[in-house]
Amino acid sequence: MNPGAATAPKGPAKRDPASVRDRLLETAARLFYQEGVRAIGVDLVVERSGVAKTSLYRHFPTKDDLVVAFLERGDLAYWNSWDEIAMRLKDNARAELEAHVRWIAQYIGRPDYRGCPFLNVASEFPAADHPARATALEHKAELRRRLGALTKRMGARRPALLADQLVLLIDGAYVNGQLLGKEGPVSALVRAALALIAAATVE
């Protein structure tokens, strides 16, 4: 063994491109969610992440790309949580639906809750052709689709109507919970959803 080899100066460590992208996205996601997208510039994301600005633009050529990635990250996490519940209760559509509503209510009740990121971003970017708004719309369309599939499986008399009522109730809770907190009207989310479900399935 060459003794000098152990003490030879090393060149700068190379960062894994995936870890750099993850660090940028994690930092941006935290800042965007806490402060809003328009309030946060890419310079602050670079500063807080400790990554060079050239690296940011290598992974996210524009701020819009970064915002879309933030929403796609949230979309993936949301549906992963949804799918865990769905898998556990796959043989009982009504129990699954009620479990989703309870999980959403718990999410809104978290101390760090700052609203639904998809609704927040949609309100910041009203132009129909903005890529971030399009991503938010896709998420909400998927929520409506999944609720519609569940209400149909559980035998609701008018499944599409019940799904739309639940979408309105959930999105209203997302917004109200941000304004008035878990002790406000959002505390009635679960009871209101259960009442709608019961009324839609009464023989």
> pLDDT per residue over 147-193, tens digit each?
999 999 999 999 999 999 999 999 999 999 999 988 889 999 999 99
pLDDT of residue 5: 37
Determine the distance from the C-alpha atom of residue 79 to the mean position of all C-alpha atoms in its chain, rounded to a whole number.
9
For residue 40 the two structure tokens come to 């946060």
> pLDDT per residue over 86-122, tens digit each?
999 999 999 999 999 999 999 999 999 999 999 999 9
pLDDT of residue 201: 86
HSE-CB for 158 with a 13 A CA cutoff:
8
Q: Is the pLDDT of residue 1 over 50?
A: no
Map out the domains of the chain with their CATH numbers: 15-61 (1.10.10.60), 68-203 (1.10.357.10)
pLDDT of residue 121: 97
pTM: 0.88
Lowest mean pLDDT: which of 16-30, 48-62, 105-119?
A: 16-30
- φ and ψ at residue 91, rounded to 5 degrees: -95, 5
pLDDT of residue 12: 39
Contact 102, 170 (CB under 8 A): no
